[in-house]
Chain A
Amino acid sequence: ETGVTQSPTHLIKTRGQQVTLRCSSQSGHNTVSWYQQALGQGPQFIFQYYREEENGRGNFPPRFSGLQFPNYSSELNVNALELDDSALYLCASSRPGVGYGYTFGSGTRLTVV
């Protein structure tokens, strides 16, 4: 079975620009969560998608938005980029409900200059 795939692996954006990050979930997983990990910190929950709808959101502003597609892949969009948005963005897929593990992708390293 394939794991979680994220693209791109790295990118550099200018403050004020918009960015789209992509994630393909593991086979059999229909729930996708996005996390932001700043340097030296643990991952922080951004939001989760289940059946193409947002299913929980962390403490992030509305300029962080997402989509989930019928094939369970997902996108994270960030508008009006700020310097503090520089981080590793991680996608995790899982089966719905408690008790199932979360499989993480390798992440996208975003640098905002």
Chain B
Amino acid sequence: SQELEQSPQSLIVQEGKNLTINCTSSKTLYGLYWYKQKYGEGLIFLMMLQKGGEEKSHEKITAKLDEKKQQSSLHITASQPSHAGIYLCGAGYYGNNRLAFGKGNQVVVIP
């Protein structure tokens, strides 16, 4: 079974609107990483969250990690075409040294 579930799988938003995507882990993690990927390209690091209840913002993107460290959300304010792409969450777990990834959230921004 998938350790990380991302929802919704895909969404289409009108330019200027806000959007939120979610990442849920089946177990407590030590670190949650958000990446953005253009089709067929590498992963661009957005943010890393480690503490329960932590919230970080960069430009128009805000990411939060819940107190139990099992769920994260990524919120984009006033979306722009440059926000289109696939958003991947990756989690590090205690006891191993790999990142587990969800399948991604595909975001399309229409004018």
Count of A residues near B, CB < 8 Å?
27
- CB-defined contacts of A88 to chain B, threshold 8 Å: 40
In the bound complex, CA of A44 to CA of B99 (Å): 8
Tell me whether B40 and A109 are in contact (CB under 8 A). yes
Contact with A along B19-60 (1 / 0, CB 8 A): 000000000001101010000111111001010000000000
Tell me whether B40 and A42 are in contact (CB under 8 A). no
Min CB gap A106→B, angstroms: 4
Cβ-closest chain A residue relative to B35:
A104
**In the assembled complex, A66 has its CB within 8 A of some CB on chain B:** no
Contact with B along A10-50 (1 / 0, CB 8 A): 00000000000000000000000101000011111100100
Q: Which 3 residue pairs of A and B lie closest in terms of their CB atoms, listed nearest first?
A: A42-B101, A106-B42, A45-B98
